[in-house]
Amino acid sequence: MKPVRVGICGLGTVGGGTFNVLTRNADDIARRAGRPIVIEQVAYRTPNPECDLTGLKTTADVFEVATNPDVDVLVELIGGYDVARELVLTAIEHGKHVVTANKALIAVHGNEIFEAAHAKGVIVAFEAAVAGGIPVIKSLREGLGANRIEWVAGIINGTGNYILTHMRDEGRAFEDVLAEAQALGYAEADPTFDVEGIDAAHKLTILASIAYGVPLQFEKAYTEGISRVTAEDVEQADNLGYVIKHLGISKRTDLGLELRVHPTLIPKERLLANVHGVKNAIAVMGDAVGPTLYYGAGAGAEPTASSVVADILDVARDIATDHHYRVPYLAFSGISEDVSQLPIMPMEEIHSAYYLRLLAVDRPGVLARVATILSEQGISIEALIQKEATEGELVPIILMTHRTVEKQMNEAIRQIEAMADIAGPVTRIRVESLDEQE
Ligand SMILES: NC(=O)c1ccc[n+]([C@@H]2O[C@H](COP(=O)([O-])OP(=O)(O)OC[C@H]3O[C@@H](n4cnc5c(N)ncnc54)[C@H](O)[C@@H]3O)[C@@H](O)[C@H]2O)c1
Ligand SMILES: N[C@@H](CCO)C(=O)O
Ligand code: NA
């Protein structure tokens, strides 16, 4: 059997993991593929001490791999937008299949890349791009293919979840835990992508396209990070029976699709509330299957390599059958003709329940005024906690509301913040019950 020849570009955390998994499990992988999968060439700038490249063809120029006639599959693991885009388009132009872990690339340039790949009849596979080692793309695109997907909600950034978990459990400082996540190879080259929700929004964009058959629209995703969540919010949420997680949420509604990443209170008893450390989990609601959950390592060298290598295996099997890629890139067939134009909703149109924390001067009537503002906006209060006031101090007031439209809440917050007896900005964290009906 003719081997399938792979060119690896980038030998960092994921590149190194991919090299090692492909090498170590070569026999089993060959049996699954029905033919050997060999590493033809490796392009890297910095050597990886974990990888023994003895006897292999290497280069410092990734474009050599993209144009090498002896490479069947280019594996893009350099990251970033610009060079990666050019590299992938060059490889496609040269008739190569592409496997990538780069969610930024797919979320931002995916539509263009899939058009080019479709025209050339090559595969572009990206399982590692969403939730690292969890085969969620395959589950959504193939396993749930019978369903109308109602919503997707997930913890899809390992670094952020690692930080939230260790801050809560060990009372450690944000910067300290972030440095640890970077040392473990979980963080993006620019860790603000992790902390500010950009990485999660890249992944959510991809999941939504596959779930609903819409074009990739990263620019329309609402993105809010975890850097403003305080220890006080974590404690108050806990008192109320909730855990704060950084969630990516996409729901189908009558008006269009919600597409949003933000800190979220979720009831403690939900499985998602119990996903800790670098683990990711994605809950998917399908009309036929009901609620399903996909859980595992969302980052790290070998967990991510597990998905990269599974994609290489898929490509190898497809080459063996010698027909056009049997599963479309974004699950719905065709490139543009079969995608739905379901609009992505502006954030102010979404529905949510809310946790609010305000600091008030301890004076009669303040609470009544806050309640009036909320009620004028049609917002009803579900729970209220007012802490004991110490002489002359500001008192924190915690409010949980029922579901309302975001723009009503924006207006209520604007009016509350304008009150003379309220100090500083109002903290607002959205709440998701993740009910089966929602
Ligand atoms: N680290 C993870 O856990 C993880 C998980 C899933 C997806 N990803 C994605 O995988 C990709 C790689 O991430 P990583 O964590 O391995 O990053 P990394 O920084 O560890 O590795 C990237 C490597 O590519 C090399 N490189 C960059 N530009 C190059 C060029 N032009 N020519 C040659 N080499 C070049 C760098 O020198 C570096 O060694 C990114 O797209 C990232 O988003 C990472
Ligand atoms: N930086 C990403 C890597 C996996 O995509 C994370 O922490 O989840
Ligand atoms: Na995955």
ipTM: 0.99
Over pLDDT 70: what percentage of the chain? 95
Based on the fold, state whether residues 115 and 158 are members of the same structural domain: no
| Structure confidence at residue 437 as a pLDDT band (50, 70, 90) | low
Based on the fold, state whether residues 9 and 120 are members of the same structural domain: yes
Between 74-83, 137-146, 160-169, 253-262, the lowest mean confidence (pLDDT) is in: 160-169
- Residues 295, 64: Cα–Cα separation, whole Å: 37
Question: For the chain, what is the mean pLDDT?
Answer: 93
Stated length of the chain: 438
- Residues 117, 112: Cα–Cα separation, whole Å: 9
User: pLDDT tens across 71-122, in order?
Assistant: 999 999 999 999 999 999 999 999 999 999 999 999 999 999 999 999 999 9
- Say what the pTM is: 0.91
Based on the fold, state whether residues 150 and 289 are members of the same structural domain: yes
User: pLDDT tens across 19-69, in order?
Assistant: 999 999 999 998 888 889 999 999 999 999 999 999 999 999 999 999 999
* Count: domains in the chain: 3
Q: Where are the alpha helices (DSSP H) in 3-157?
A: 13-24, 26-33, 62-67, 82-93, 103-120, 136-138
Cβ(47)–Cβ(31) under 8 Å?
Answer: no
Is the pLDDT at 228 greater than 90? The verdict is no
Ligand 2, residues 134, 159, 190: which to mutate, most atoms within 8 A of Cβ?
A: 159
In a domain, 31, yes or no: yes
- Residues 32, 54: Cα–Cα separation, whole Å: 26
Instruction: Give the residue-averaged pLDDT of 328-340.
Output: 65
Closest CA to 80 of 199, 206, 175: 199
In a domain, 336, yes or no: no
| Structure confidence at residue 425 as a pLDDT band (50, 70, 90) | very high
Based on the fold, state whether residues 259 and 389 are members of the same structural domain: no
Strands of the sheet with 37-43, listed across from one edge: 57-59, 37-43, 4-9, 73-76, 97-100, 124-125
In a domain, 168, yes or no: yes
In a domain, 340, yes or no: no
The SS3 assignment for 5 reads strand
Between 292-301, 318-327, 333-342, 404-413, the lowest mean confidence (pLDDT) is in: 333-342
Atom 4 of ligand 2, nearest CA residue: 299
Based on the fold, state whether residues 93 and 29 are members of the same structural domain: yes
Number of C-beta neighbours around residue 328 at 10 A: 17
| Structure confidence at residue 334 as a pLDDT band (50, 70, 90) | low
- Residues 413, 429: Cα–Cα separation, whole Å: 12
Q: What's the gap in Å between 141 CA and the centre of ligand 3?
A: 12
Between 140-154, 299-313, 354-368, the lowest mean confidence (pLDDT) is in: 354-368
Based on the fold, state whether residues 210 and 285 are members of the same structural domain: yes
Based on the fold, state whether residues 306 and 282 are members of the same structural domain: no
16 lines ligand 1 (CB under 6 A): no
User: pLDDT tens across 231-280, in order?
Assistant: 888 889 999 999 999 999 999 999 999 999 999 999 999 999 999 999 99
Contacts of 377 (CB under 8 A, 6+ apart): 404, 408, 409, 411, 412
In a domain, 342, yes or no: no
In a domain, 338, yes or no: no
Q: Is 179 left (phi over 0), alpha (psi -120 to 50) or beta?
A: alpha
* Predicted pLDDT at 342: 86
- Using alpha carbons only, give the angle 248, 400, 426 rounded to the nearest 5 degrees: 80
Instruction: Give the residue-averaged pLDDT of 308-331.
Output: 80
* Predicted pLDDT at 362: 86
Domain harbouring 28, CATH code: 3.40.50.720
Which of the residues 96, 103, 138, 203 is marked catalytic?
203
Based on the fold, state whether residues 30 and 104 are members of the same structural domain: yes
Residue ranges lining ligand 2, Cβ < 6 Å: 132, 157-159, 186-188, 194, 199, 298-299
Based on the fold, state whether residues 172 and 283 are members of the same structural domain: yes
Domain harbouring 398, CATH code: 3.30.70.260
| Structure confidence at residue 220 as a pLDDT band (50, 70, 90) | very high
Based on the fold, state whether residues 228 and 144 are members of the same structural domain: yes
Is the pLDDT at 438 greater than 60? The verdict is no
* Predicted pLDDT at 163: 93
Instruction: Give the residue-averaged pLDDT of 331-350.
Output: 77
Bridge partners (DSSP) of residue 394 are 361
User: pLDDT tens across 178-193, in order?
Assistant: 999 999 999 999 999 9
Based on the fold, state whether residues 147 and 282 are members of the same structural domain: yes
Q: What's the gap in Å between 186 CA and the centre of ligand 2?
A: 5
In a domain, 326, yes or no: no
Based on the fold, state whether residues 140 and 96 are members of the same structural domain: no
In 213-270, at which residue ranges do the beta strands (DSSP E only) sit?
A: 222-223, 242-253, 256-267
- Residues 390, 388: Cα–Cα separation, whole Å: 7
Q: Is 81 left (phi over 0), alpha (psi -120 to 50) or beta?
A: alpha
* Predicted pLDDT at 386: 85
Instruction: Write out the residue range of the structural domain in which residue 184 sits.
Output: 136-297
Bridge partners (DSSP) of residue 257 are 252, 344
In a domain, 404, yes or no: yes
What DSSP designation does 75 have?
E
